[in-house]
């Protein structure tokens, strides 16, 4: 028996690390675009622009009132893009891990179900054998 063949894969593989880095980079790109946009359209300093964009990205809504129509339109677009990028990043990063946990849980449930079914079948066979011996005695 090959002991390496039965070893479980580590949860955090190189692929998972690449996925996490890609997801984080996607959020960073959206944050930078949003901060630069709010800085140039609304004249916000960079701290307020990053703060504003982070509130949009997390679904909190705009923390500061916007002054220009172009800033409001940009904020509307960035709200969809930001929230979408955060949700996509979470799914992209955690999806494979959640799928693995789901698969393992279903395998355990199936194993336990088979054990219960076998126990029930064995119990029914015992009852039938007992009825047969009672009738012949």
CATH architecture of 14-136: Orthogonal Bundle (1.10)
Q: Per residue in 43-76, pLDDT tens? A: 999 999 999 999 998 888 888 899 999 999 999 9
Torsion sign, CA atoms 69, 71, 74, 75: negative
CA-based nearest residue to 38, from 47, 29, 26? 47
| pLDDT per residue rounded down to tens, the chain (137 residues) | 455 555 565 556 788 788 889 999 999 999 999 999 999 999 999 999 999 999 998 888 888 899 999 999 999 999 999 999 999 988 888 888 888 889 999 999 999 999 998 888 888 877 777 776 665 55
Angle subtended at Cα 92 by Cα 86 and Cα 97, rounded to the nearest 5 degrees: 125
Task: Read off the pTM.
Answer: 0.64
């Amino acid at each position: 028996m090959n002991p390496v063949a039965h070893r479980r894969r580590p949860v955090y593989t190189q692929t998972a690390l690449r996925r996490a880095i890609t997801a984080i980079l996607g959020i960073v790109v959206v944050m930078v675009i949003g901060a630069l946009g709010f800085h140039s359209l609304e004249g916000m300093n960079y701290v307020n622009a990053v703060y504003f964009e982070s509130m949009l990205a997390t679904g909190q809504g705009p923390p500061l009132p916007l002054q220009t129509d172009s800033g409001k339109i940009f904020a509307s677009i960035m709200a969809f893009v930001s929230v979408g990028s955060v949700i996509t990043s979470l799914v992209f990063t955690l999806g494979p891990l959640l799928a693995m946990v789901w698969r393992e849980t279903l395998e355990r449930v199936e194993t336990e179900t088979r054990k219960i079914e076998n126990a029930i079948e064995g119990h029914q066979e015992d009852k039938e054998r007992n009825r047969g011996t009672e009738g012949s005695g």
